[in-house]
Structure 1
Amino acid sequence: MQRTRRLASMAVVASLAIAGLSACRSDPAVAAYIGDSTISERQVERVWDEARKAFDAETGKQVAAAQAAVDDAKRKVAAGQGTEADVQAADEALAQIPRTLPITRTDVVSALLSRKLFDQVAQRHSVTLPAELAYDRAGAAVGLPASTEYVRLYTQNAVLQYLVSQSITGAATLSDKDLKDVFRRAGEKQAIQPGTTFESFRDGLNPQLAEELKTGVALRDELTSAAEPLHITINPRYRPMEIVTYAYPRQNAPALDLVGAALDDQATLPVLDVS
């Protein structure tokens, strides 16, 4: 009976502590809390707005050039110097220019938060960023000018993730729990043949993929360990959020996110055994 009361009291104290922490970390002007620091909505808006303006300016130039190519192709057809196929090709090139900003505010929050976390993990492994980084290449991959802060954050996060992953040695064997999460994620993206069982998926796992998953899981655990004492709290408008630590590349399709470190410790209070 005393044990039951003691555990029940612990649950009450813990719930009050979490409620108090949550109440202190609910300023609508804050996008995320991480340790004693914050990521403000103003900071998020600044990074996002810079990206939007740079994207719009670059898109405007591309559209103008593509439209000029269309007009030129039409003039050549009228003058008997071109074909309708030339006009169609120019029209298709114009239509293929992206008109929608390739990132969201949630992406910005994730990039800012990831940068802080990767700094923590990089220090543990004595990893530092190289003096020269391929911002131009990363910008082309993201679809934003290399000069934007978002591309700089994206690039730095990607390089730190790679360097930390390379520094992790002796990754543990994949557990069934790890593999079931991978299996679930792949299934949700229709990347597994219908009717495939978890057991057949696990037993038929490609050895190279298994090693890559081990590294992703090890990095996930490192990030989770670094995040735990920081009591990360994310504004509900940006949840759920995670840092993907392994994505399986696919041809002609987005990479498949198979391992990730979930962020934000403001979950429900763990159930205690009071029996």
Structure 2
Amino acid sequence: MRRLTAAAGIAVALLALTACRSNPSVAAYVGDESFTEAKVDQLTEQAAKVQQTAQPGDTAAIRTEVVQLLIYNALCKRIAAEKGIKLPAVAAGPSEYETIRQESQTCVQALPLDQMKPSDEDLRKVYDNGVEIGVLDPKQSFDQIKPQLAGDPQVAGAIAVYRVLTDAAKSADVTVNPRYRPLDLPVLSAGERGAVLSAPFGQYEPGVSNS
């Protein structure tokens, strides 16, 4: 009976934890930090003004970008804290949205990403995605183009960002409201053709209502 009682207690605790990370008024969780839909509303309005976007259909895309930014900024700060990196102060921008953008850029620049060597698996992701969106020639095999990819500082930097973000997202148990799925942050882009490498952000809670 004691074992059953203990098991029941664990089950209740797990259910409570799940419920805490399934609040429909929350856009995303990063560790103990949460970002509400109200905050996303506020930042989306600011972002639309910065981007000079007035089309109603663009709102959903801007909201997703805002959620990406909030998670990206929070994860970068966590990484810096874990590595004992003191981030430089950032002057407040014209809006909170612009301040957060600047914080994120300053943070990622402070991380020792140049110390990370791209793995063959990482390079393969770039190659496969590059071929898929048409920026790499499929007639050239992965082995043929691998040295070029490995020697490109932009590719190496993007892979480093991808690796630290994905590792940090798992460690922080990032959870995203289903309305923003799939939530991927492009870290290496080919302009209008799309992303060559994207960092996936967080698990999705199927029990969260989108209403």
Q: What TM-score range do you get, normalising by the shorter chain?
A: 0.7 to 0.9
State whether structure 2 residue 162 is matched by structure 1 residue 220.
yes
State which of 88, 98, 108 in structure 2 corresponds to 1:151.
98
State whether structure 2 residue 87 is matched by structure 1 residue 128.
yes
Letter in 1 for 2:95: T
Distance 1:19 1:197 in 2: 49
TM-score (norm 1): 0.57
Distance 2:177 2:142 in 1: 35
State which of 100, 104, 108 in structure 1 corresponds to 2:66.
108
Contact 2:118 2:159 in 1 (8 A): no
Contact 1:129 1:156 in 2 (8 A): no
Distance 2:200 2:54 in 1: 31
Contact 1:171 1:218 in 2 (8 A): yes
Letter in 2 for 1:235: N
Corresponding residue SS for 1:31: strand
TM-score (norm 2): 0.72
Q: Which residue does 1:205 correspond to in 2?
A: 148
Distance 2:150 2:172 in 1: 35
Letter in 2 for 1:129: P
| Per-residue deviation, residues 59-109 of structure 1 (Å, max 9, x unmatched) | 6xxxxxxxxxxxxxxxxxxxxxxxxxxxxxxxxxxxxxx754696100011
State whether structure 2 residue 113 is matched by structure 1 residue 117.
no
Corresponding residue SS for 1:110: helix
Q: Which residue does 2:6 correspond to in 1?
A: none
Question: Do the aligned partners of residues 228 and 26 (structure 1) sit closer, same or farther apart at CA in structure 2, a change above 3 Å counting?
Answer: same
Distance 1:18 1:243 in 2: 29
Distance 2:122 2:44 in 1: 34
Q: Which residue does 1:186 correspond to in 2?
A: 130
Q: How many percent identity over aligned positions?
A: 23
21-30 vs 106-115, which deviates more? Answer: 21-30
Q: Which residue does 1:171 correspond to in 2?
A: 116
1:227 Cα deviation from its structure 2 partner: 2.4
Question: Do the aligned partners of residues 130 and 257 (structure 1) sit closer, same or farther apart at CA in structure 2, a change above 3 Å counting?
Answer: farther
Within a 5 Å distance, the mapping from 1:5-154 to structure 2 comes to 22-52=18-48, 54=49, 100=55, 104-123=62-81, 124-132=83-91, 147-154=94-101
111-120 vs 24-33, which deviates more? Answer: 24-33
Question: Do the aligned partners of residues 18 and 181 (structure 1) sit closer, same or farther apart at CA in structure 2, a change above 3 Å counting?
Answer: farther
Q: Which residue does 2:199 correspond to in 1?
A: 261
Corresponding residue SS for 1:155: helix
**Structure 2 unmatched runs, 5+:** 1-12, 206-211
Corresponding residue SS for 2:115: coil
Distance 1:114 1:161 in 2: 9
Corresponding residue SS for 1:28: coil
Distance 1:266 1:126 in 2: 30
Question: Do the aligned partners of residues 155 and 255 (structure 1) sit closer, same or farther apart at CA in structure 2, a change above 3 Å counting?
Answer: farther
Question: Do the aligned partners of residues 159 and 227 (structure 1) sit closer, same or farther apart at CA in structure 2, a change above 3 Å counting?
Answer: same
Distance 1:243 1:185 in 2: 14
Corresponding residue SS for 1:107: helix
